A and B are shown apart, each in its own frame.
Chain A
Amino acid sequence: MSGLVAGLLLLAALSGLLVVLARDPRRQVFAMAGNGLVLGLLFLALQAPDVALSEIAVGTAVTPLLFLAALAAIAMDRAKGRTEDPAKDQAEDRALDRAVDHAK
């Protein structure tokens, strides 16, 4: 195993760990895109350029965008459901966050 492959494997593990440790969904999306880029480079170093191209296009561009669009739609939907009472809204948000955390 060359130093390049070893380094990229280590980087893949580290960036994967970052995806798990980032708790804010938006940061998680970008961490995931970074992880996809590292995986693409790893595939390239392992002489699989076909897979590397697919991984970079799907894992770094398309999937993160789908997540971002979904997060934006959720944020707008929540904003639409706002009532006159801010305390009640905050309680609702907290309940939703708890539900999302639980689902994770």
Chain B
Amino acid sequence: MTPRWRLLLLALALAALLPAVLRVALAMPEFGAPTAALGQSVNALVPELRHVANMVAAVNFDLRGFDTLGEECMLLCAVTGATVLLRGARGERGDVRAGHLPGRPVIPRADATVLVCRVAATLTLLFGISVALHGMTTPGGGFQGGVIAASGLLLLYLGEGYAGWRTLVPSPVLAAMEGGGAVLFVLCAGLPLIAGHPALTNGLPLGEWKDLYSGGLMIAVNAAVALSVTGSFGLLLVEFLEETREPADAPASNEADHEDGTMRTRT
């Protein structure tokens, strides 16, 4: 397709879509105007009904909890698919070392880097747990806390290098967290069904407003999401970083380059 044809297609598409887009854009509420009726009623009703302070968590884990279950399964399927594809092409051998680009010098890691990474990784993990735990009271929740905790794993990789990272981050544990979280969510949704109530019926005591324990069943759902998201993102990171490894018995030419590289940095 030549650029001329592309421009012609673009002009056609614009001519067809622009009037509709303009009409919708002009009919929208003013920028920043809090006029959404649903949001206003959630703000007015939910503190009474569910005793939680974070309305976003209330919507995600209770009011439309069933949608969140679907999203959770979507993440599970996406990560499982990526894992199967990558591992299928790569195999599950354990005797590997970090890959190396021939000719690029290997510079030893500074002690300061290791120290900063260890401190920062611990703080990131704690912050992630805190964000997940306070999901009912402050912004955040299981998803955000889970992603933050998993991104702390990257700091471990930066600080410890490949071998240290592999011993510190066991991927079976991550996989168990991923699946276990999803199972816990399904149980939260399914157990009320067995008792004859609608799915995700909030049967637990609701607790105090603005308290760490508030929201009843939402706390269990939040924990399930946190576990599953931490496991999913951690597993994703492990699988992608494993792509940069090479078998321990790789051709010797790379090894020679490797040693050559370290020699050069020493002199």
Contacts and interface: CB of A to CB of B under 8 A. Distances in A.
B148 A57 contact: yes
Contacts of A54: 143-144, 147
A70 B101 contact: no
A64 to B, nearest CB: 10
Interface stretch (A12-20, A24-32, A71-79): A71-79
Contacts of A53: 131, 139-140, 144, 147-148
A66 B233 CA distance: 11
B154 interface: yes
B203 interface: no
A97 B32 CA distance: 44
B50 to A, nearest CB: 17
A62 B139 contact: no
Contact of A66 (B57, B131, B240): B240
Main secondary structure of the interface of A (DSSP, over half): helix
Contacts, number: 63
Interface residues of B, number: 28
B140 A69 contact: no
Given A50-B141, A62-B233, A66-B236, 6 more contacts: A50-B144, A53-B139, A61-B147, A62-B236, A72-B101, A73-B243
Interface of B: 31-32, 54, 56-57, 99-102, 131, 139-141, 143-144, 147-148, 150-151, 154, 233, 236-237, 240-241, 243-244, 246
Interface of A: 1, 5, 46, 49-50, 53-54, 57-58, 61-62, 65-66, 69-70, 72-73, 75-76, 79, 82
29 contacts: A1-B31, A5-B32, A46-B32, A49-B140, A50-B54, A50-B57, A50-B140, A53-B131, A53-B139, A54-B144, A54-B147, A57-B148, A57-B151, A61-B147, A61-B151, A62-B150, A62-B151, A62-B233, A62-B236, A66-B237, A66-B240, A69-B243, A70-B243, A73-B99, A73-B243, A76-B101, A76-B246, A79-B102, A82-B102
